[in-house]
Amino acid sequence: MMFFNESKGFPKDFLWGSASAAYQIEGAYLEDGKGMSNWDQFVRIPGKTFQGTTGDKAVDFYHHYKEDIALMAEMGLKTYRFSVSWPRILPDGNGKVNEAGLQFYDNVINELLKYDIEPMVTIYHWDMPQALEDQYHGWESRRIVDDFVNYANVLFRRYGDRVKYWITMNEQNVFTSMGFLSGKHPPGKVDDRKTFYQANHHANMAHAKSVIALKKLFPDAKVGASFAYSPSYAYDRKPENAMAKADFDDLENYFWMDVYAYGRYPRSAMQFLDSRGWAPEMKAGDEAVLKEAAGLIDFMGVNYYQSSVVEYNPPDGVGTTYAMNNTGKKGTAKIQGFPGLYKRPQNEFLPTTDWDWTIDPMGIRMCCREITSRYDLPIVISENGLGAFDQLEDGKVHDPYRIAYLKAHIEELKKACDDGCRVIAYCTWSYTDLLSWLNGYQKRYGFIYVDRDEDENSGTLNRYKKDSFEWYKQVISSNGEKL
């Protein structure tokens, strides 16, 4: 393991931040002309979310943004990553622009800038206008590419004078695989690989064309996509497990990152998909567009939560419709895999969270190292954090477990900087507590506790600083030296 007798520490202008997504915080789901999103609809299907939770009210950021941003300023946050709700801007997906929606994000951006907090805007964090699902099945149709670029252009024109950092897609690998393989996200399809790769190709084109559009308008803007990166370790030294790791990397990691960084799919992955009849249909000129965008991106966005162990999975082995742990009862998740290729057993060397997510701080350094050697791109850690049960007592929340988790990851990130990785930002997930898509409100991530639970009418929505708030404040003021 490379080690350095002296650490250079984090770069001087490092962006210490925190992240969120519109659907998980805003609420006000029908206010001021907002249209329905695919998630507004999906959560209403019985059994889809933990105890039927919705983002109807969420933590009501829509009405609390000033209070929340004031708390960010008190903490000294350098950047806040948030997403825009597409159906708030274009209620029908592709029709009339909703001025009230645009105004809301104007207010948020201006409030952030008032305190010198750099806004980092995610264009798409999963809430698609339901109207587009109704018109042409959303990502399944190529028509979404133009509609997405039109939406992105509305944002660029309106906010590009003040927003420098843009993230096109949040975890494209997650919303497509959960939407078309495991059925756990909208549109809830199961094991539909052909559609999965096609929808994903449309998302790649939407990403690429909006990157190009942004740079035309604002050449100095900084843009990338946020990838849910799970670096992989082969189960053992058996060659078939090493090959399973290679398959996993090509099909689960490079399949996205290579497109963002090189503008092409990994060759072996495409050969394999072709042989099964699953390869996406590409139009003449698509590759040129992907390549042009790849030449324009400024960073690789990484959402890091856990690493993966990869083991060979026989053809009759486990598939994608596995049991997730959405209750917080440790040990209830079942392993998942791609029959004939690989599966992902638990790593017995590492602890797990109550939701069975592996805790592997060194994995964040691994992500940075791999990206640096393969793509040599700057890195934005756009999410990293611990989902846990928190207890509010006498207005206080003691969360030493969250501090320990973040500290361990930041220590490893610092080593990645010493290794020469060009890390420019680190955003924790999340700032305030918020709705977890499938796990309700009991799986908490914030520095700020929000008083509400699964019951839509519960709680005061009052905000309380957790112990981790003061801790992260000192991390920021010491630029990562006081951990």
Query: Which positions are catalytic?
Result: 171, 383
Residue 310, beta-bridge partner list: 234
Check residue 441 for interaction with ligand BGP (CB under 6 A).
no
Is-contact 89 128, C-beta < 8 A? Answer: no
Residues 171-210, interacting with ligand BGP (CB under 6 A): 171, 174
Query: Pairing mode, if any, of strands 308-312 and 300-303?
Result: unpaired
* String of contacts with ligand BGP for each residue 4-33, x by CB under 6 A: -----------------x--x---------
Q: Which is nearer to ligand BGP, 118 or 383 (CB)?
A: 383
Residue from 130, 176, 182, 303 in contact with ligand BGP (CB under 6 A): 303
Binding residues for ligand BGP, rule CB under 6 A, total 15
Name which of 127 and 133 has its Cβ closer to ligand BGP.
127
- Cβ of residue 284: shortest distance to ligand BGP, in angstroms? 34
With CB under 6 A as the contact rule, which of the stretches 182-190, 273-281, 390-398, 432-440 interacts with ligand BGP? 432-440
Contact between 450 and ligand BGP by CB under 6 A: the answer reads: no
Of positions 429, 441, 449, 472, contacts ligand BGP by CB under 6 A: 429
- Pairing status of strand 423-429 against strand 79-83: unpaired
Find the part of the chain contacting ligand BGP (CB under 6 A) among 112-120, 208-216, 438-446, 471-479: 438-446
For the CB of residue 385, give the shortest distance to ligand BGP in the complex, in Å. Answer: 7
Nearer to ligand BGP, 18 or 24 (CB): 24
- Is residue 328 part of the contact set for ligand BGP (CB under 6 A)? no
Residues 352-391 that bind ligand BGP (CB under 6 A): 383, 387
Q: Which stretch binds ligand BGP (CB under 6 A): 40-48, 198-206, 340-348, 435-443?
A: 435-443
Is residue 341 involved in binding ligand BGP (CB under 6 A)? Answer: no
Question: Half-sphere exposure of 362 toward its Cβ, with a 13 Å CA cutoff?
Answer: 8
Of 34, 81, 414, 443, the one binding ligand BGP by CB under 6 A: 443
* Least distance CB 216 / ligand BGP (angstroms): 28
127 touching ligand BGP, by CB under 6 A:
no
170 belongs to the binding site for ligand BGP (CB under 6 A): yes
Determine the interface stretch with ligand BGP among 110-118, 309-317, 436-444, 456-464 (rule: CB under 6 A).
436-444
Q: In the complex, what is the shortest distance from the CB of residue 102 to ligand BGP, in angstroms, rounded to a whole number?
A: 23
Of residues 385-424, those binding ligand BGP (CB under 6 A): 387
Any contact of residue 260 with ligand BGP (CB under 6 A)?
A: no
Q: How far apart are CA 24 and CA 318, in angstroms?
A: 31
Nearest residue (beta carbon) to ligand BGP: 436
Amino acid letter, 213: A
Measuring CA to CA, which residue among 153, 178, 142, 165 is closest to residue 38?
178
Residues in touch with ligand BGP (CB under 6 A): 21, 24, 170-171, 174, 228, 303, 383, 387, 429, 436-439, 443
